[in-house]
Amino acid sequence: MVRSAAERSALKRAYESVLANEVVPTLRSHGFTRSKNTFRRSRGPLYDVINFQANWNNSVTPWYGFFVNVGIGSAEIDEACPGHDPALHQPAGFLLDHRWEHLVPDAPYELRFDQTTDMSAFAARLCANLGRVVEVVERTPSTRALVEYAVTNNLLIAYEKTCCYLAATGDIDTLSRYVARLQASFGHQDRWAIFSDRISAVAGSLPALRRN
């Protein structure tokens, strides 16, 4: 059911109120600062980002929905991998890049509320889960730990930047292990030729990097 303009405006104001009055103090206590719908902090060379993404369908649904995105990047990785075409990888970017339910499985995929929702309870649940997200993020304390996370967990997420950093720092053993894992997952697919070309572009040729 399509809501009236007044109802849509009221729900949007409720969303903004939760961010301003509940989320900002919660994340500020962990060192985050807000820019629009994104919260960011630094931990040495690491940077953590929590982003609130409104559902594009909010104008036509009887509720207001949004998602929570979480990223961890490293200035050390960014500095080691300059100069490539942005189509390969961005100058700054995350090696951990997920929706929050990937880190906190009990957290909802999409948060929704409507005019009947108890917003105090809704905000309390949201902030409790944000605290759990921060706890999980802090289990990655260094650039090395972030790279190990990527090598162990990432397939399609930031594989180019991960390979670039490992090559730039001379960690050929880890690079070879990671490429072998990627090839084990995708080597039987036609698109592996594209993947291998992109890896070669950022990391050079490796004995383990075969096109088929």
Residue 32's pLDDT band (cuts 50, 70, 90): very high
Q: Say yes or no: 113 and 151 in one domain.
A: no
Would the pTM of this model clear 0.85, i.e. be above it?
yes
Last residue of a domain, one of 116, 137, 158: 137
pLDDT by residue (tens digit) across 57-109? 998 899 999 999 999 999 999 999 876 677 767 767 899 999 999 999 999 99
59-90 burial string, b = 16+ CB within 10 Å, else e? eebebbbbbbbbbbbbebbbebbeebeeeebe
Domain span including residue 189 = 143-203
| pLDDT-above-90 percentage for the chain | 82
3-state helix, strand, coil in the chain (%, to 5): 50, 20, 35
The CA-to-CA distance between both ends of the chain, in Å, stands at 51
Handedness of CA 35, 40, 41, 44 (dihedral sign): negative
The first and second tokens of residue 167, run together, are 């090559």
DSSP-assigned letter for residue 23: I
Q: What is the pLDDT of residue 211?
A: 47
Q: Say yes or no: 177 and 88 in one domain.
A: no
Q: Say yes or no: 105 and 164 in one domain.
A: no
Last residue of a domain, one of 109, 137, 165: 137
E-state strands within the chain: 33-35, 38-43, 46-54, 64-74, 94-99, 111-113
Q: What is the pLDDT of residue 92?
A: 76
Mean pLDDT of 136-159: 96
Tokens 């894992």 label which residue? 181
pLDDT exceeds cutoff 70 at 167: yes
Q: Say yes or no: 131 and 73 in one domain.
A: yes
* 173 assigned to some structural domain: yes
* 211 assigned to some structural domain: no
Q: What is the pLDDT of residue 212?
A: 45
* 209 assigned to some structural domain: no
Query: What domain count does the chain have?
Result: 2
